Amino acid sequence: MSSSAVWRPFTQHALEPDPPVIAQAEGAWLTDSGGRKILDAISSWWVTTHGHRHPRIMAAMRDTAESLDQVIFAGLTHEPAERLAAELVEIAPSGLSHVFFSDSGSTAVEVALKMALGFFRNRGEARTRIAVLEGGYHGDTIGGMSVGERGVFNAPYAPLLFEVERIPFPGGRGEQDALDAIDRSGRRGDLAALLVEPLVLGAGGMRTYTPEALARLADAARAHGALFIADEVMTGWGRTGTLFACEQAGLSPDILCTSKGLTGGAIPLAATLATPTIFQAHWSTDRAKTFFHSSSYTANPIACAAALANLAVWRDEPVRERVARLAQAQKRRVSRLASDRRFRNARSCGTIAAVDLQVEDPGYLADVGPRLRAFFMERGLLVRPLGEVIYLMPPYCVTEAELDLLYDAVEDAADRFGGPR
Ligand SMILES: *Cc1c(COP(=O)(O)O)cnc(C)c1O
């Protein structure tokens, strides 16, 4: 038993060593209390985009703290939230006009599901079924788990989860099966929404599919009168090469969820963006048609200021060039592993690269996951494989020399843990 009072996320305390105590974060690096440096190759669970503690974002939070803290957001408003909503609408895929703030990716998804059901109920249409992609991940709240892949992570809670329609993964040769499944589902006439992670299934193993397939999924759902919801919680803010992944498909979703990189990874904030049609369906003199959702810290001014600073960084710094350069580097490096028989499925999508290590017993709970994690940590590299899936998702400030450290370690990990060449 450790002496810590902390119960950590996704952590089997009986099997895992006490974690390093991080005392400092800067750029792509974390420093522990003993002065040891650790390269953050997973952007601290996919949130850090520009690098830790971007000066402009930190300054915005400090400045705002001089005048504001949390202020109730029903019946009152404040400038950071008003400006942020307006700016998000400017840069989001066209057609999204209204921004509902919350504070985590899971909540942004819950809000999206409630918006979809409220929309149809307020219009008097009996549509309540949700379709999702097999292998998807949308958070760990009850609603988030319900629309995500079922497995060992949520088996104990299955009695609390609602049923959804599961569409085959549209990657590789799966696209037609996915479209057929949406079509079959849509014909029943009660499909409210198709919810997907665009281009990359993150926690589901960094599985990628094409922008063309994404566009066709949306068309198929809309052909049957269903809404299309993009969960861009992970894929947003440059991660897949464009600001939002939907852009690559020329696609404007009816509802878009964003969180993780919204503040550059500095402080929690989430937003669910919706079209005028969805907003209008809740606009009524009938109070029963109100969108009934709130969380205490909705639109926290300091978090909104961080997000505004993040948007300013995107405007004023060559972020798109950094993203493009990192995407190139990832593609070049990971494609070298494609012919290496110790790996399978070498792939990249924008700034994200992944390979599956060829091992005897694959699977998320396979021992190889934690052993790999420990192996990388010994070298001062924060890498957190999903089972045998090794992925690298560093912040955009990462250098070629730092990528060398990471890819050398991936090869060494294969020597140590992988199957035959
Ligand atoms: C991380 C993630 C979520 C959940 O976000 P939290 O902030 O952890 O609640 C939802 N959807 C996707 C696609 C994610 O990657």
Q: Output the pLDDT for position 1.
A: 59
Q: Helix %, strand %, coil % for the chain, to 5? A: 40, 15, 45
- What's the whole-model pTM score? 0.98
Q: How far is the CA of 110 from the centre of ligand 1 (A)?
A: 11
Q: What is the pLDDT of residue 146?
A: 98
The C-alpha angle with vertex 231 and arms to 226 and 235, in degrees rounded to 5, equals 140
Centre of ligand 1 to C-alpha 205, Å, is 14
Contact 234, 200 (CB under 8 A): yes
How far is ligand 1, taken at its centre, from the CA of residue 145, in Å? 11
Ligand 1, residues 8, 102, 110, 138: which to mutate, most atoms within 8 A of Cβ?
138
Q: How far is CA 176 from the centre of its chain?
A: 26
What is the position in ligand 1's atom list of the atom closest to the CA of 234? Answer: 15
Single out the residue of 262, 6, 292, 260 nearest to residue 137, CA to CA: 260
Strand pairing report for 129-133 and 191-196: parallel
* Residue 414: closest CA among 337, 353, 352: 337
* Residue of 233, 246, 263 to mutate, ligand 1, most atoms within 8 A of C-beta: 233
Full DSSP string of 326-354: HHHHHHHHHHHTTT-TTEEEEEEETTEEE
Q: Is 295 annotated as a binding residue?
A: yes
Give the model's pLDDT for residue 216: 98
Each residue's pLDDT expressed in tens, for the chain with a length of 421 residues? 578 999 999 999 999 989 999 999 999 999 999 999 999 999 999 999 999 999 999 999 999 999 999 999 999 999 999 999 999 999 999 999 999 999 999 999 999 999 999 999 999 999 999 999 999 999 999 999 999 999 999 999 999 999 999 999 999 999 999 999 999 999 999 999 999 999 999 999 999 999 999 999 999 999 999 999 999 999 999 999 999 999 999 999 999 999 999 999 999 999 999 999 999 999 999 999 999 999 999 999 999 999 999 999 999 999 999 999 999 999 999 999 999 999 999 999 999 999 999 988 777 777 889 999 999 999 999 999 999 999 999 999 999 999 999 999 999 999 998 865 4
